[in-house]
Each structure stands twice: as C-alpha cells, then as structure tokens.
Amino acid sequence: MATHTTARKQPNYLAMTFTICFVCFIILIQFPLIFITPILEYKKIILFKEYNLPINENVEYSVATSLWIIVPIVYTYKTIGELGDVPIFCPSNYKYSFPRLQFICQIRISNIICMWLMFISTILATFAMHIPESKYNEWFGFGIEDNDSEKSEKVDKESKNIKK
C-alpha cells in the first residue's frame, strides 16, 4: 500500500506571465518599430530635401536603409548635428529659423529614438530566444514538482522492494 499520493501539477503562473510579457513585447514594441523606423527615416529625408537642409546622403541611404539595425551608433554620430545649433529634443521656446523646422526636428529625434528602441529590442529578443527552455524551467521552478514526485515514487518503490 502506497502512502505517498501525487499532487496534481499546478500551472506555473510566473513562467506563463513571463511568456505573455515577452510575446506582448514583441507584438507591441518590436513589430511596429519594424515599420515606424523606416517610415520616419523616409519622412525625414523628404523634409530635409524640401527645405534644402544639409543632409549626408551617403549615410542616409547606405546606413539608414540597409544597416539601420546593425549600426545605430555610426548613424547617430553622423546625423546628430545635421540641424546645426537646434537642440536635439526640439523645445518649443527655441527660436527656429522657420516655423516648420520644429516639426522637422521632431521627426528627426523620433526617428533616432525609434531606431534605438528597435536596436535594443532586437538585441533583447535575440538573447531571450537563445536561452534554452531548461533554463527558463530552472529559473521559474517549472518541472521541479515533476522531479520531486519522481524521486518520491522511486523511494516508495525502493522501500517496497526492501520490505519484500
């Protein structure tokens, strides 16, 4: 007669919550940035050309269109001063040389922020996808109950064999 009863396995809510948060992170942040960042880059190039503002076309067309995920540091370094003395975060109390320049500044900083968010979220998602499932199970206690119940069943079987 077995004295040990196996408890019903409880779902690991922490692991499920982590998974849901990760999926939401991908859907709500990563996926939209795939589209928003190039659109803002395109809008920036159009506005700079429309208002005859200096633009480094080699950087814009090579780095921004083909390497915008890989090399955000180079892009930021090469484009940070493209509006001259206009402050990077486009304050409303700054004296802009023409009214539309504040909007152009806002598009530029939005593009840089989205590019960096895309880069950082891509790095985080890449690292998270390479963590083995066994590590997640270990970190969040998933599967521990199974091991404990297997050990107790093994001990029960061994004790029965000893009694015989």
pLDDT at 87: 93
Is residue 4 within 8 Å of 156, Cβ to Cβ? yes
Which H or E element spans position 152? Answer: helix 144-163
pLDDT greater than 70 at residue 155: no
Name the pTM for this structure. Answer: 0.51
Is residue 60 within 8 Å of 109, Cβ to Cβ? no
- pLDDT band per the 50, 70, 90 thresholds, residue 3: low
pLDDT greater than 90 at residue 66: no
Please tell me the chain's helix, strand, coil percentages from 3-state DSSP, rounded to the nearest 5: 70, 0, 30
pLDDT at 50: 92
pLDDT at 109: 92
